[in-house]
Amino acid sequence: MAMAAPILCASPIPQKPLSLYTKSHSFPLSQFSILPTPMKTAVARTSVSASTTTSLEAGQAPLSSMPSKALPFRVGHGFDLHRLEPGYPLIIGGINIPHDRGCEAHSDGDVLLHCVVDAILGALGLPDIGQIFPDNDPKWKGAPSSVFIKEAVRLMHEAGYELGNLDATLILQRPKVSPHKEAIKANLSALIGADPSVINLKAKTHEKVDSLGENRSIAAHTVVLLMKK
């Protein structure tokens, strides 16, 4: 009588957990890696070096952008919200908007530029703006958000990408943004180094609902498409 052949089951391939390394540095995340899976291996590393030279106006580059895979397109989303208080300037997209109150923030509180920075960083798979430019660091106190966006653009080009298009939505009850849209778009395109035709800006009220609708805060969403050069 023939004996049944034994059934052999392969043991699961052990996988190493996600490794997170930190250094004593101005920026908390200095290196991360995506380790092997059974189907493929992808490695992504972001390094921070105190000796790195930069184009930052403040004099120090936080990160190097090295996406794990050279995808032809990368998409990122950014969101930001700031409280509105009397006695502060209201700056949107680098443009000073006349209003009876402005954004209370550690930097200049530019809600639009902040979420654009986060969208670009997100598309590149990098840490968010709060990790790169922490609000407990006194050197960013009152800093113009143009510093942040110039660094995000530098990282984008370093990774070999350029802006395909950008779509942003501002949410605020007052003031009306429409008289300032073209100036905001022109300044944003100059900061990013992109044609104004690839930048779209919309503004919505919040129908007098919650802090946004009561003129106590302002928010913005941004989606960016980055294209491989």
- For the chain, list the domains and their CATH numbers: 70-228 (3.30.1330.50)
Banded model confidence at residue 172, pLDDT cuts 50, 70, 90: very high
d(CA 93, CA 203): 13
What is the Cβ-side half-sphere exposure of residue 86, based on CA atoms within 13 angstroms?
1
d(CA 198, CA 108): 26
Banded model confidence at residue 12, pLDDT cuts 50, 70, 90: very low
96-120 pLDDT, tens per residue?
999 999 888 777 889 999 999 999 9
Residues 6+ apart with CB under 8 A from 199: 165, 166, 168, 185, 188, 189, 192
pTM: 0.70
| Of 35-44, 116-125, 156-165, 185-194, minimum mean pLDDT range | 35-44
Note whether 65 and 155 are within 8 A (CB): yes
More confident: 139 or 4: 139
The average pLDDT across 144-156 equals 93
Instruction: Report the pLDDT value the prediction gives residue 123, as an integer from 0 to 100.
Output: 97
Percent of the chain with pLDDT over 90: 57
Answer whether residue 43 shows pLDDT above 70: no
